[in-house]
């Protein structure tokens, strides 16, 4: 969603959609522009596609002659040439040389989903070639993010090649410590002006890259390296492992790492979901089963059911559990690992809740109207500070940083909002020595800071974010794609709209408004959620669910509706209950009609 510039008031923005300048949650509703309306109408006339779907396509600037290709993204059309990235040929050639020479290979991976999936891609591909590589994932608490001197020296003493995935671009000292072994880096984090002494560093976010592929996560970079390696094998008359069957791992990483679902990432996720639906990877099958996923996987399931469980090992358990689960070919091992990760995820939620409450109270006391929302506390588990930062960001529409303190050192994580580059700011402040180290990308970053420098560092970060306009942000506008009536929201229509997906970061799920409706039924369910049935007075009705609605103004207002009429807004989805499908609105906001 595009944030409106702070200097534009409502009068200059034009009328609010359905006249909603301040909804029950305090948000201004915006709708399609006149240009979008014209484009949607032209699309409908030219293609015969449903008007609601054409509104979604028009919002993404899809023309009539490109609609068919957009609705069926393929790797054939969207896969970039791997060699467009610097060092790619050298990286693939070195990995192949290690395979052919039966050299000892180590994979050094980050402890999150992207790192785990990236490692699994390499481990599975190498295993298909008869090579068993060593997996090394650093402990989040004891070692921190990325390569460290001791681990790299240890691996170099026993291996000929170390491949760093989802890390390494800023690791000058640790890579230099890997004496006696070659190091290849496959990463996507923001690079500095100088690169460490690795044999090859493949990273679309290097300073000397043009940024065309900057939207790739690390697993996407690893996949491109495998494409290049397979091409080199084919040129030598050799057959490489199947790559299409690995797209489930790429899809999981792309969604869980909140990479924008544009370009080739759409094809990665769309086709990866098909692969995942075949239930052929033991780790993902076991994970889906333990998570209670009883339907075809969607991008939402990857981000909110599977991804958090893979992450749980790196956050509060053994750091390598996620990568081991994704790479294993043993169903019994997969079941045991998935059960352990599910247990750890439950523990993570409990720890997160405690830290979240304390962080929010501290941030509120400090003030939520500045360019940065931050909190720091002794004993806060470093495995949950990133999640809590995301919660603060969502609650305030401000960049947020949360720091856990231990023995005078703070380890923190930050999350940003659209249009504000937090990673570049963190990297700059690290260069100014206010941080021990720090880096990341636009939307997420990590840092290490001395406790006595936290206030000064946060002030400096806030000042730099303010220059980008972070201090002038207000409540997010709610961007709507159009209006629907309850009778038009069918399972078939939802399926047609889903063809414009997958939806996620960079390509948000369409939102529709249902105008002038009456609440027919409202009930609190679960822990503060609201179940609603509403209708238009003409006989048509639809169910809706509003998660966490009772924790804000939305739930209480709808529970006390008093037979008033409301405009209701949210995302359409198919609800599956006892094998039956029905349309459902994931209710996000409402306003009195």
Give the pLDDT confidence of 407-437 residue by residue, as tens digits. 999 999 999 998 899 999 999 999 999 999 9
pLDDT (0 to 100) of residue 14: 65
Name the burial class of residue 235, with classes exposed (0-12), middle (13-18) and buried (19+) by CB atoms within 10 angstroms of its CB: exposed
Nearest to 273 by CA among 241, 304, 250: 250
What pTM did the predictor assign?
0.89
**Beta pairing, strands 529-535 & 512-525:** antiparallel
Q: How confident is the model at residue 476 (pLDDT cuts 50, 70, 90)?
A: confident
d(CA 416, CA 419): 9
Q: How confident is the model at residue 579 (pLDDT cuts 50, 70, 90)?
A: confident
Are the beta carbons of 331 and 286 closer than 8 angstroms? yes
| pLDDT score of 4 more than 60 | no
Tell me the per-residue pLDDT of 328-349, one tens digit each, with 9 for 90 and over: 999 999 999 999 999 999 999 9
| pLDDT score of 28 more than 60 | yes
Alpha helices in 367-490 (DSSP H): 385-396, 422-431, 454-467
**Beta pairing, strands 580-592 & 565-577:** antiparallel
Domains of the chain are 10-72+477-592 (2.40.50.460), 82-343 (3.90.1640.30), 367-472 (3.10.310.30)
pLDDT (0 to 100) of residue 473: 77
pLDDT (0 to 100) of residue 591: 97
- Terminus-to-terminus CA distance in the chain, angstroms? 24
Question: What does the pLDDT average to over 460-468?
Answer: 97
Beta-carbon count within 10 A of 319 CB = 24
Q: How confident is the model at residue 7 (pLDDT cuts 50, 70, 90)?
A: very low
Partners of residue 449 on adjacent β-strands? 410
Distances (CA, A) of 205 to 122, 201, 215: 21, 11, 9
């Amino acid at each position: 969603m595009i944030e409106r510039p702070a200097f534009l008031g409502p009068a200059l923005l034009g009328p609010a959609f359905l006249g909603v300048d301040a909804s029950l949650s305090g948000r201004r509703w915006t709708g399609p522009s006149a240009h979008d309306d014209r484009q949607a109408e032209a699309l409908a006339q030219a293609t015969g596609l449903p008007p609601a779907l054409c509104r979604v396509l028009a919002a993404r600037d899809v023309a009539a002659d490109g609609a068919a290709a957009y609705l069926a993204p393929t790797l054939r059309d969207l896969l970039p040439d791997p060699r467009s990235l610097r060092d790619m040929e050298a990286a693939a050639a070195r990995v192949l040389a290690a395979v052919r020479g039966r050299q000892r290979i180590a994979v050094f991976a980050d402890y999150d989903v992207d790192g785990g999936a990236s490692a699994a891609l390499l481990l599975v591909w190498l295993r298909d070639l008869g090579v068993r590589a060593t997996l090394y994932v650093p402990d989040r608490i004891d070692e921190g993010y990325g390569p460290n001197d001791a681990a790299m020296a240890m691996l170099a003493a026993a291996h000929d090649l170390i491949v760093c995935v989802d890390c390494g671009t800023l690791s000058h000292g640790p890579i230099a410590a890997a004496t006696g072994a070659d190091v290849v880096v496959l990463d996507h984090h923001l690079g500095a002006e100088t690169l460490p002494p690795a044999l090859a560093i493949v990273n679309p976010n290097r300073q000397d890259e043009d940024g065309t592929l900057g939207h790739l996560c690390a697993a996407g970079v690893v996949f491109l390296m495998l494409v290049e390696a397979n091409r080199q094998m084919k040129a030598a008359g050799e057959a490489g492992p199947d790559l299409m069957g690995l797209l489930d791992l790429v899809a999981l990483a792309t969604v869980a790492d909140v990479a924008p679902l544009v370009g080739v990432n759409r094809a990665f996720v769309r086709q990866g979901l098909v692969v995942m639906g075949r239930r052929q990877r033991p780790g993902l099958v076991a994970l889906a089963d333990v998570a209670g996923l009883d339907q075809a996987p969607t991008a939402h399931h990857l981000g909110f059911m599977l991804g958090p469980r893979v992450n749980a090992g790196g956050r509060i358990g053994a750091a390598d559990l996620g990568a081991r689960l994704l790479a294993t070919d043993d169903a019994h091992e997969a079941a045991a690992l998935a059960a352990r990760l599910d247990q750890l995820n439950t523990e993570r939620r409990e720890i997160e809740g405690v830290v979240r409450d304390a962080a929010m109270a501290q941030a509120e006391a400090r003030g939520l109207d500045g360019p940065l929302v931050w909190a720091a506390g002794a004993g806060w588990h470093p495995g949950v500070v990133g999640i809590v930062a995301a919660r603060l960001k969502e609650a305030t529409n401000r960049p947020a940083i949360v720091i856990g303190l231990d023995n005078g050192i703070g380890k923190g994580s930050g999350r940003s909002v659209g249009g504000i580059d937090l990673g570049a700011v963190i990297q700059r402040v690290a260069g100014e020595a206010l941080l021990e180290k720090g880096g990341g990308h636009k939307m997420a970053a990590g840092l290490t800071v001395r406790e006595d420098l936290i206030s000064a560092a946060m002030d400096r970060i806030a000042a730099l974010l303010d220059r980008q306009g972070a201090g002038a942000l207000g409540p997010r506008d709610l961007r709507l794609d159009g209006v629907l009536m309850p009778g038009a929201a069918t399972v078939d229509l939802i399926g047609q709209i889903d063809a414009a997906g997958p939806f996620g970061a960079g390509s948000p799920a369409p939102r529709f408004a249902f105008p002038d409706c009456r609440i027919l039924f409202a009930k609190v369910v679960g822990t503060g959620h609201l179940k609603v049935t509403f209708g238009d007075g003409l006989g048509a009705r639809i169910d809706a669910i509003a998660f966490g609605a009772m924790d804000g103004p939305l739930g209480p207002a709808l529970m006390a509706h008093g037979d008033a009429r409301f405009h209701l807004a949210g995302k359409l989805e198919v609800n599956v209950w006892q094998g039956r499908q029905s349309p459902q609105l994931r209710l996000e906001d409402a306003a009195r009609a």
